[in-house]
Amino acid sequence: MTGLVFKGLAVLASLALAASAQYLAFGLAGAGHGWVAPLFYSLLLFVAYPVAFLRRMDTSHPSIAIDVGLLVVAGIADLLLVIQTVIQEPHYFVMVIGFAGPFAVLWLVLWCLWQMLAVSTLRRRIARRDATGFY
């Protein structure tokens, strides 16, 4: 029962982080006159954060397929975010950094946090598989 409670709390915490990132993204978008890319990419966080948190807590399944999948999604999303920012919104990005830099940095931290959690989880699972000899 306590495991279920902890998982429920993890999902709530992960959704709170995603909502915080989305809130920051609304501010960064500035009614379409700011850096708009985070507004769309933050939607991914409502799925990525809970999956990353639950995978981190799940020690019963040694499979790394979901963790690798999370990292593939992270890489593609990062690439698309950079491309959209550099090609479509470079002047908006510079403008937002100028007047709302700390909020942009905070959004980037929230964006990267789930990815670091996924990398950490994958490393832990690989180390555990190496230690037990289970493949």
Q: In this predicted model, what pLDDT tens digit does every residue of 77-133 receive, in sequence order? A: 999 999 999 999 899 999 998 888 899 999 999 999 999 999 999 999 888 876 665
Per the model's pLDDT, the better-predicted residue between 69 and 131 turns out to be: 69
Beta strands of the chain (E only): which ranges?
none
Quick count: other Cβ atoms within 10 Å of Cβ 61?
10
d(CA 118, CA 135): 20
User: Looking at the predicted structure, is the pLDDT value of residue 57 above 80?
Assistant: yes
User: Taking the domains of the chain in order of start, what are their residue ranges?
Assistant: 2-132
What's the rounded Cα separation, in Å, for the pair 60 and 57? Answer: 9
Q: Which amino acid is residue 132, in one-letter code?
A: T
- Pick the closest to residue 17 from 124, 107, 131 (CA basis): 107
Q: pLDDT digit string (tens) for 14-39?
A: 999 999 999 999 999 987 778 999 99
At 49 the pLDDT is 96
Q: How much is the pLDDT for 68?
A: 94
The pLDDT assigned to 127 comes to 85
In terms of average pLDDT, the best of 5-14, 52-61, 76-85 is 76-85
d(CA 81, CA 53): 22
User: What's the rounded Cα separation, in Å, for the pair 6 and 65?
Assistant: 23
Q: Half-sphere exposure (CA, 13 Å, Cβ side) for 45? A: 30
